[in-house]
Amino acid sequence: MVLFSAEPILGAPGQSPPARVPNKGEPDNQPSMETKKIGLAIHGGAGTIEPSNMTPEREREYRTGLERALTAGYEILKRGGSSLDATEAAVRALEDDPHFNAGKGSVFTSAGTNEMDAAIMDGKTLAAGAVASLKHIKNPINLARLVMEKSGHVMMDGEGAEAFAKENGIELVDQKYFFTQERWDALQKMKAAEKNRTSGTGEKFLITDQDRHGTVGAVALDQNGNLAAATSTGGTTSKRPGRVGDSPVIGAGTYANNDTCAVSATGDGEYFIRATVARDVSALMEYRGMSLKEAAQAALDKVAKLGGTGGLIAIDHQGNVALPFNTAGMYRGYVDPDGKFVIEIYR
């Protein structure tokens, strides 16, 4: 159970709470207000993430980024804010952190450009917004929510999505905003490795999952019992321009339904699309009566059977959390029942 409770303050220190008059027919010993459960989990991507490949300084930087995202979402939930606001804020914090493959830290396409995808979904209404192939939007998750609430559509992409952003007051940024030396170097390694593979020179290049891909996401339960999920990514290094992964595909990389759960996935996007992972977690709970943990693992096993790797985070309508992955590690964090942040990287 990954929950924490938000209980009303009944009085100042040293004062007794005001007497409560029970309603007719209501037992006198009933509590004055039901304790409301809230929950939050985030991820920053799954892959071959091992301590041997991580310096202490770099690990601290990743943990700090995850903590910053948890804080952004938790503060909203703690004040009684919505799960939509919490997931959007948590993902936005990760988009602003160049360590993660979303927003500022997005990887490069084979053409040397950045193309970003994102999605958000409201478990109360099943409303959703998604964007793909963005090149000039600082925080794609903000535009995804705008699409959900203002466009009348579910998904928009490319120039049309950016024109819609501009019409609604979202500032477009130059592509140079997304440049980071680490991501540029990863692209050069990928290109060199492919060239050597086709030419048969045999020179080896160490290509890590950190070089290849990554995603960020958040799932939350608010005091009103509403679930939400949000996901954002820069895609995969050296992808063909125009390639879209699972993150903005509702039911593949992102899904939320108050009756079951909220899910955000990360990994080999093509496999998550084919396995309809996020919706499958919900469907297994709804139609087969599985627990969140069982359903999340079963959906991820489908990905593995197809040959894909990755992970997901999920939270159900009771606040239970599951964070399965089939890789060596996954950047992840959640808030425990006591309000303590738990941040993990390795298996």
User: Does residue 260 have an active-site annotation?
Assistant: no
b/e per residue 168-191 (b: at least 16 CB within 10 A): eebeeeeeeebebeebeebbebbb
Residue 52 contacts residue 318 (beta carbons within 8 Å) = no
SS3 assignment, position 156: strand
- Residue 309 token pair: 């790797």
| Phi, psi for residue 192 in degrees, rounded to 5 | -65, -40
Q: How far is CA 260 from CA 103, 127, 130, 290, 314, in A?
A: 29, 15, 21, 10, 10
Helix (H) or strand (E) holding 310: strand 310-316
CA distances from 311 to 19, 193, 206, 300 (A): 50, 26, 23, 7
| Annotated catalytic residue, options 215, 233, 254, 266 | 215
Residues with catalytic roles: 215
